[in-house]
Amino acid sequence: MPADYSQEPILKVEHMKQYFKVSSSYTVKAVDDVSFDIYPGETYGLVGESGSGKTTVGRGIIRLYDPTDGRITFKGKDITGKMDRETTNLLRTKMQMIFQDPMASLNPRKKIGDIIGEGLDIHQMYSTQEERKEKIDRILAKVGLAAEHYDRYPYQFSGGQRQRVGIARALIMNPELIIADECISALDVSIQAQVVNLMKDIQEETGTAYLFIAHDLSMVKYISDRIGVLHLGRMLETGTTQEIFSNPMHPYTRSLLSAIPVPDPATEKERIALEYHYETSGLNYDEGSLTLVGGSHYVHGTPQEIETWKRETQA
């Protein structure tokens, strides 16, 4: 099922801000005025280096943090501030998360079956134990694990297998949006592809949308319909995958693209990555704003900067 842009977005993030007060005089602006939408069945890739705030965005949306400011709407319901019971239930079932570290994201003292079944237990989504077991077994099979894994513990599994368990845990709730927070970066490249394939299969079958948070652009390109580039808590550029990859405008985006490793010795041996340092770039993110440059392609900058970049990229 491809992304459906005719419908209302399933998730709307408007001017999200997330500040962390470190001391009375020092506040970290982890996320500063970030806005984007995700449509049903769509995969939105959020890329940036460590410290860019991409993980904070994900955690703020699923309300592991309470966003400092801004409005987040999920399936038409405002999920910022205090939520009523119904909204909480909606958020805790229809939005799920896959975590980064397959070693830390599974409770070491729980059986695989109980880890996957936790959501069912919390929301009382079965009437008999047989029904619960059957649901869990079906999900295990779907993520390519065997029924005999039900009674095993997380440390008996490899990283890729654990990540499958993490996916199963999210999947069993039939979510409509899954936030995948760097969910492949801790895995071997060969296993990354397995997990990405699995996620694509699931999307085709269930029509769930993904917020795919990553720092590895090659996988992001492969899985995403649209991409947002985050740096120092700001959205610097967003657009369709096609727009970002064929016509990257912001110097930061261009440096990211130039750094993608390619499994081809002929090109890789020649490639020199572009450098980008905010301090020496002459840019001030506070001055610019997100500006439409065509299609659904937005770039963050002052009008003059954007003009310059337009000339540069067209040349």
Partner 1 sequence: MADKILDIRNLDITFTTTAGPVHAIRGVNMDLERGETVAVVGESGSGKSVVMKTAMGILAGNAEINSGEIHFRYKEDDGSTQDVDILQKDERWIRKNINGRRIAMIFQDPMTSLDPTMTIGKQLMEGMIMHLKLSAQEAAARAVKLLEEVGITDPAKRMKQYPHQLSGGMRQRVVIAMAISCNPDLLICDEPTTALDVTIQAKILELIKRLQKDHGISVIYITHDLGVVAKVADYVNVMYAGKIVEVGNIEEIFYDPKHPYTWGLLSAMPDLETDDSRLYTIPGSPPNLLHEVKGDAFAPRNQYALKIDTIAEPPMFKISETHYAATWLLDERAPKVEMPQELQKRIRRMRKEAKEDAG
Partner 2 sequence: MSRKKNVVSEPALQSLQEAYVPTQEDFTFDTSIDIHTDRNYASVGFWKGVATRFFKNKRAVIGLVIIGISIFLALAGPYMNQYGYSDIQSVYDEETGNEVTARSLPPRIPWLHKLMTGEAYDDPFADRVFLFGTDSLGRDLWTRVWYGARVSLLIAFVTIFIDMIVGMTFGLVSGYFGGILDDFMQRFLEIANSIPRLVIVGVLATFMPKGIGLVIVALLLTEWIGMSKIARAEMLKNKEQEYIMASRTLGAGSGRIIFIDILPNTIGPIITQMMFSIPNAIFTEAFLSFVGVGIMLPQCSIGSLIEDGFNNITTLPYQIVPPILVLAFLMLAFNFVGDGLREALAPRIEDM
Question: Considering the complex, what minimum distance in angstroms separates the CB of residue 288 from partner 2?
Answer: 33
Which partner in partner 1, partner 2, none is near 64 (CB below 5 to 8 A by kind)? partner 2
Rg (CA), the chain: 20
Which partner in partner 1, partner 2, none is near 77 (CB below 5 to 8 A by kind)? none
Cα separation values, 259 from 42, 115, 218, 244, 262, Å: 26, 38, 10, 15, 9
- Please, which residue, 56 or 238, has the CB nearer to partner 2? 56
By CB under 8 A, name the binding residues for partner 2. Answer: 59, 62, 64, 88-89, 92-93, 95-97, 99-101, 104-110, 118-119, 122-123, 141, 144-146, 148-149, 152-153, 155-158, 161, 164, 166, 169, 173
Question: Considering the complex, what minimum distance in angstroms separates the CB of residue 119 from partner 2?
Answer: 4
C-beta atoms surrounding 211 within 10 Å: 27
Q: What angle do CA 148, 151, 153 make, to 5 degrees?
A: 115
Cα separation values, 180 from 5, 38, 105, 221, 229, Å: 21, 14, 12, 15, 16
Which partner in partner 2, partner 1, none is near 298 (CB below 5 to 8 A by kind)? none
Q: Which residues pair with residue 289 across a beta bridge?
A: 301
Q: How far apart are CA 269 and CA 218, in angstroms?
A: 18
- Please, which residue, 258 or 302, has the CB nearer to partner 1? 258
Residue 218, both tokens: 């090659």
C-beta atoms surrounding 164 within 10 Å: 26
- Please, which residue, 75 or 234, has the CB nearer to partner 1? 234
Which partner in partner 1, partner 2, none is near 190 (CB below 5 to 8 A by kind)? partner 1
Question: Considering the complex, what minimum distance in angstroms separates the CB of residue 19 from partner 2?
Answer: 18
Which partner in partner 2, partner 1, none is near 239 (CB below 5 to 8 A by kind)? none
- Please, which residue, 171 or 198, has the CB nearer to partner 1? 198
Question: Considering the complex, what minimum distance in angstroms separates the CB of residue 193 from partner 1?
Answer: 4
Query: Residue 299, SS3?
Result: strand
Q: How far apart are CA 143 and CA 166, in angstroms?
A: 10
- Please, which residue, 35 or 258, has the CB nearer to partner 1? 258
Question: Considering the complex, what minimum distance in angstroms separates the CB of residue 85 from partner 2?
Answer: 11
Q: Which residues pair with residue 291 across a beta bridge?
A: 299
Question: Considering the complex, what minimum distance in angstroms separates the CB of residue 90 from partner 1?
Answer: 31
Q: What angle do CA 260, 266, 267 make, to 5 degrees?
A: 30
Q: How many residues does the chain have?
A: 315
By CB under 8 A, name the binding residues for partner 1. Answer: 49-50, 144, 157-161, 188-194, 196-197, 200, 215-219, 221-222, 245, 255-256, 258-273, 275-276
- Please, which residue, 94 or 142, has the CB nearer to partner 1? 142
Rounded (10°) angle between helices 159-171 and 189-206: 20
